[in-house]
Amino acid sequence: MTDFNQIPLRPDLKGQVPYGAPQINVPVALNVNENTFGIPEVVALEIIQRLAAEVIGLNRYPDREFMQLRGKLADYLGFGLAPEQLWAANGSNEILLQAFQAFGGPSSSAISFGPTYSMYPNIARISLTPYEEFEREADFELSADYVAEKIRDSNPGIVLLCSPNNPTGTPISLAVIEAAYQAFDGILIVDEAYAEFSAEESALSLLSGRPRLMISRTMSKAFAFAGARVGYVAADATAIDALRIVRLPYHLSSLTQAAALAALSFSELLLENVAQIKGQRDRIIQQVTKMGLRAFRSDSNFVLVEGFQDSNEVFEKLLERGVLIRNVGIPNTLRFTAGTESETTKLLAELAIMLD
Ligand SMILES: *Cc1c(COP(=O)(O)O)cnc(C)c1O
C-alpha cells in the first residue's frame, strides 16, 4: 500500500492520525458524552415533517445566512441576543475551526489549559495556528490569577476555555472568564458544550460590551442531537461577521437547518432528561467513591475517575461486558458518561465486580 511518504502530504501532517474515539457497537455506550436518551417520538415526527417539506426544494442551495435558525438559537439562549449575534455550523467543532481560520493562522497563536478537549490541538494544527497548553492547577481547577498570568505571559491571539471542561468535568467561574478577557487583546472562546448540565452561570451574561468574547455551544450533548451535527456560537455581531468571511458557502444544508428548527421547537421536551442525567452523574460520583476510587468534581454529564492501576485493562474488561467507556490518556483514570438509570446500573455493577 502507498503510504504518506509517497504522496505530497503537508509535512506537518505526516505522522498525524485522524481523531478516533472508538466507534464500537455495544449495548451500553458511555464513551463520547452523548445524551443516551433517544429522540422522543413527537419530536422525531416533527423533524420528519420539516425534512419532507425541504426535500422537494433540494435542487436549490440552502439559505446561506439561515436567519430563521439564528433567530431561534438567539431565543433559546435568551440574554436579549439578536439573530446577528448567532452563527451555526456542522457541530461546534466546525465553529471552532471557523474561529481559528478567522482569528488564528501562522502569525497568530492559541493557548488552552490541559487536560482539555482533544480537538483543540487538532483544530490549531489544521489552521496552521501555533498552539500551547498550560497545565491546570490542583484537581484540574483554574483560578483567575493563574489564568490571567499565563495569558499575559504568552499573549496569544486566541484563548480557549472549556467550561465545564472535557475530560475533567471542571466548571470555570465567571470571575476566571472576566480575568482572562482582561488579560489580553485577542479572542476569548468559551466552549460551553456542556452548559445545560452546569450549575455555573453561563458566560453569555458577559457578552455585552465584550466584542472579543465568543461562546460556543452545541446541540450534540444535552439536546440529544449529536447525529444531526449542529453547533453554534454567540458573540458580538462583528465577530460573527468575521466567521462569515471564512465559512464555505452554503455550509449548513437545508436538511440540517430544518432538523435544528424542529428540535428547537421542542427544546423543553428534549432537555427534560438533563435532570435525570445529572442525577446519574452524581450517583456515579457517590458510588465510585464508595469503591475506593476518586471522582473529580463534575458539572457536566460525565465523570473523570481516578484510581485504576491499569486503565486500559479496566477499559478492555468493561468492553468485554458490553460497556464502552473512554480512556482519555490521563494516567490511572477513566471517563464515564452518565447515561440512563439502567445503563449507569450496568456500568457500576460491572465496575464493582471487577474491583472486588
Ligand atoms: C462534544 C464537545 C464538543 C461538541 O462537538 P460537536 O462538533 O458540536 O459535536 C465541543 N466541545 C467539547 C469540549 C466537547 O466535549
Atom of ligand 1 nearest to the CA of 33: 1
pLDDT at position 2 is 82
Global confidence as pTM: 0.97
In whole numbers, what is the pLDDT of the chain averaged over residues? 96
User: Which of the residue ranges 6-10, 121-125, 204-208, 239-243 would you say has the lowest mean pLDDT?
Assistant: 6-10
Model confidence pLDDT, tens digit, residues 99-136: 999 999 999 999 999 999 999 999 999 999 999 999 99
How do 333-337 and 302-306 pair as beta strands? antiparallel
Q: How confident is the model at residue 17, as a pLDDT?
A: 86
Taking CA atoms only, the protein residue closest to ligand 1 atom 7 is: 91
If you measure from the C-alpha of residue 65 to the centroid of ligand 1, how many angstroms do you get, rounded to a whole number? 23
If pLDDT is split at 50, 70 and 90, which confidence band does 22 have?
confident
pLDDT of residue 18 exceeding 90: no
Q: Which of 337, 343, 276 is nearest to 305 (CA)?
A: 337
The three cell numbers locating residue 322 = 458490553
351 vs 355: CA distance, rounded Å: 6
Contacts of residue 262, Cβ cutoff 8 Å, sequence gap at least 6: 43, 46, 47, 49, 50, 51
Q: Which residues, 6 or more positions from 70, have their beta carbon under 8 angstroms from its beta carbon?
A: 83, 84, 86, 87, 88
Residues framing ligand 1 (Cβ under 6 A): 33, 91-93, 117, 162, 166, 191, 193, 218, 220-221, 226, 231
| Nearest alpha-carbon partner for 229 in 273, 189, 260 | 260
pLDDT class for 16, splitting at 50, 70, 90? confident
Span from the CA of 5 to the centroid of ligand 1 (angstroms): 32
Average pLDDT score over residue span 251-263: 98
- Looking up cell 432528561 gives 273
The DSSP code for 140 is G
pLDDT above 70: percentage of residues in the chain? 100
pLDDT for res 216: 98
- Give the number of the atom of ligand 1 that is nearest the alpha carbon of residue 94: 7
288 alpha carbon – ligand 1 mean position (Å): 26
Pocket test for ligand 1, best of 90, 120, 172, 221 (most atoms within 8 A of CB): 221
Looking at domain 41-265, its CATH class is alpha beta
**What is the reported pLDDT for 139?**
97
pLDDT tens digits, one per residue of 283-299: 999 999 999 999 999 99
What value does the mean pLDDT take over residues 326-345?
97
Task: List, as one string, the DSSP characters of 47-116.
Answer: HHHHHHHHHTTTTSPP-SS-HHHHHHHHHHH-TT--GGGEEEESSHHHHHHHHHHHH-STTS-EEEEES-
Task: Taking residues 250-261, report their average pLDDT.
Answer: 98
- State the distance from the centre of ligand 1 to the C-alpha of 328, rounded, in angstroms: 15
pLDDT-derived band of residue 5, with 50, 70 and 90 as boundaries?
confident
Q: Provide the pLDDT for residue 210.
A: 98
Nearest residue (CA) to ligand 1, atom 3: 193
What average pLDDT score do residues 244-261 get?
97
Q: Is 324 helix (H, G, I), strand (E, B) or coil?
A: strand
CA 133 to ligand 1 center in whole angstroms: 18
- 11 Rama class: left (phi>0) / alpha (psi -120 to 50) / beta: alpha
| Domain segments of the chain as ranges | 21-39+271-355, 41-265
- 241 CA from centroid of ligand 1 (Å): 22
pLDDT over 80 at 1, yes or no: no
Which one is the CATH code of 21-39+271-355: 3.90.1300.10, 3.30.460.80, 3.40.50.720, 3.90.1150.10? 3.90.1150.10
% of the chain exceeding 90 in pLDDT: 94
- For 22-31, 48-57, 253-262, 278-287, which range has the lowest pLDDT when averaged over its residues? 22-31
